[in-house]
Amino acid sequence: MDFTPDIQVFCCHYTSQQACSEDSKVLPAEGFPASVSINRLPCTGKLEVSALLKAFENGADGVYVVGCPVDKCHNVMGSQRAAKKVLAVKKALEELNVEPERAEMFHLERGLHPEFIAVAKRMDEQISSLGPSPFKGEVL
Amino acid sequence: MIVANRKPVSEIVDMIKDHERVLLLGCKGCVSVCSAGGEREVEILASLLKLGCQKEGKKIEVIEASFVRQCDKEYIDGLDDFDGKYDAIVSMACGVGVNFIANLRPMTRVYPAVNTSFMGGSAEQGVWSEQCAGCGNCVLHLTGGLCPVARCAKSLMNGPCGGSVGGVCEIDSDVTCIWQAIHDRLKRLDRMNDILAIAPIRDWRPAGHGGPRKVQRDDLTI
């Protein structure tokens, strides 16, 4: 089956700023998958569980969060809080018998580093192998 | 506050399987403070119910609302605003709220979204512990403010028992022996005389063993 996943990444201003400010051709040229859409936040600590769930409601096959390294968050605890929110989403997915690997958290250095591209590729592969979101099932 | 925990989503999805329009009702009281059933939790559960039903191939409409409290008639009256818009209520309030809706709305289907756990407090973020059992006959004036009914595994009135070792209860190494703590505290406060007398056999009727309890204040009733 031909399947192109819809993946939503939530990045803080710091981890995504270069990626967003660079020429729009830079990311694809670096190999950033077209399946991943960037949602920019002031800080991932601001992220709510409901925002991640809404992404699934809106048709995402997978979501992930990129925040600052655990000990280097610009807002001290922001990325740690985000990691807890992602854990809550993973737990909720498990409760619904859905693969928790559809939600992930990454702590990356600021700016456009190879790791930013690498985790996007990893998520593209991971979600592609899981297939379409079970939440997209046909409603009777 | 009353401390509660949300039920597993699959359990709630199963409860509402015969309904198409659900009013998901949060409470801005205790369950909001303990992050189990306030406005934020309503938003999360609404998403989860929609996703859970979607996964089962079932259509569901979830209306989100939160009341100041669900344990007073005047606030339950707020349900009038939603008349005709839902065919079941999922309450995120404690069991009191669910009972109140059931009491006051004879024809409304109401389901609990949380497990009501205990009366407690939060000494650190994200952790709540039981502090009071609502036993109806408070002895805290004799026990240095520490409750042997709620915080002793046996609810002993004369403790500690033989299962107390090094200030820890035998049921779990994470549980403080509250009777050891009571002794230590009274000694520190020079109030050991408060517990020298042997407490008599306790009358548990005020604790609910005499049936459902009720408080009536004639100065307030009209």
Q: CA A93, A97, A100, A101: dihedral to nearest 10 degrees? A: -130
With an 8 Å Cβ cutoff, are B55 and A50 in contact? no
pLDDT in tens, A8-48: 999 988 877 666 666 677 788 888 999 999 998 999 998 99
Distance CA B17, CA A99 (A): 22
Packing angle, helices A78-95 and B39-55, rounded to 10:
40
Residues of B whose CB is below 8 A from A85 = none
A 47-66 → B contacts, CB under 8 A: 48-50, 53-54, 56-57
Nearest to B77 by CA among B101, B108, B96: B101
Residue type present at position B203: D
Residues of A whose CB is below 8 A from B59 = 139-140
Nearest-CA residue of chain B relative to A88?
B44
- Show the domain range for B144: 133-207
Q: Is residue B77 part of a domain?
A: yes
Residue type present at position A52: L
Say what the pLDDT of residue B30 is: 97
Q: Say if residue B200 is in the same domain as residue B174.
A: yes
Q: Is residue B123 part of a domain?
A: no
Domain boundary among B61, B90, B118: B118
pTM of the shown model: 0.92
Q: B193-213 as b/e, with b when 16 or more CB fall inside 10 Å?
A: eebeeeeeeeeeeebeeeeee
> Where do runs of H (alpha helix) occur along B88-168?
95-104, 148-151
Mapped onto helix, strand or coil, the DSSP state of residue B12 is: helix
Q: Is residue B19 part of a domain?
A: yes
Q: Say if residue B105 is in the same domain as residue B41.
A: yes
Residues of B whose CB is below 8 A from A137 = 54-57
pLDDT in tens, chain A (140 residues): 688 999 999 998 887 766 666 667 778 888 899 999 999 899 999 899 999 999 999 999 999 999 999 998 888 899 999 999 999 999 999 999 999 999 999 999 887 788 999 999 999 999 999 999 999 876 65
Q: Is residue B126 part of a domain?
A: no
Q: Say if residue B38 is in the same domain as residue B95.
A: yes
Nearest to A91 by CA among A67, A83, A133, B15: A83
Q: Say if residue B10 is in the same domain as residue B78.
A: yes
Task: Name all contacts of B83-86 with Cβ < 8 Å and 24+ positions apart.
Answer: B85/B21, B85/B23, B86/B21, B86/B22, B86/B23
Q: Say if residue B145 is in the same domain as residue B94.
A: no
Q: Is residue B218 part of a domain?
A: no
Q: B160: cis peptide before it, omega within 30°?
A: yes
Mapped onto helix, strand or coil, the DSSP state of residue A24 is: coil
Q: Is residue B124 part of a domain?
A: no
Is the pLDDT confidence value at B140 over 60?
A: yes
With an 8 Å Cβ cutoff, are A134 and B58 in contact? no
The domains of chain A, with CATH numbers, are 7-132 (3.40.50)
Residues of B with CB under 8 A from a CB of A: 8-10, 13, 40, 43-44, 47-48, 50-52, 54-59
Q: Is residue B127 part of a domain?
A: no
Residues of A whose CB is below 8 A from B47 = 50, 53-54, 56-57
Q: Say if residue B174 is in the same domain as residue B81.
A: no
Q: Is residue B17 part of a domain?
A: yes
With an 8 Å Cβ cutoff, are A98 and B55 in contact? yes
Say which DSSP state B138 is in: -
Cβ atoms B93, B26 nearer than 8 A: yes
The ipTM is 0.89
Say what the pLDDT of residue B103 is: 95
Separation in Å, CA B92 to CA A56, B12, B28, B64: 23, 11, 10, 11
With an 8 Å Cβ cutoff, are A96 and B10 in contact? yes
Cβ atoms B144, B191 nearer than 8 A: yes
Q: Say if residue B64 is in the same domain as residue B101.
A: yes
Residue among A96, A134, A140 minimizing CB distance to B9? A96
Q: How far is A32 from chain B (nearest CA, A)?
A: 29
Is the pLDDT confidence value at B151 over 80?
A: yes
Sheet holding B21-27, edge to edge: B61-67, B21-27, B88-91, B110-112
Is the CB of A87 inside 8 Å of chain B's CB atoms?
no
Neighbouring CB atoms inside 10 A of A138's CB total 6
Total number of domains in chain B: 2
Q: Say if residue B109 is in the same domain as residue B197.
A: no
Tokens of A130: 């899981």
Q: Say if residue B40 is in the same domain as residue B139.
A: no
Q: Say if residue B107 is in the same domain as residue B142.
A: no
Q: Say if residue B91 is in the same domain as residue B198.
A: no
Residue among B44, B52, B59 minimizing CB distance to A139? B59
Nearest to A101 by CA among A69, A135, A66, A63: A63
Mean pLDDT for all residues in chain B: 95
Q: Say if residue B83 is in the same domain as residue B35.
A: yes
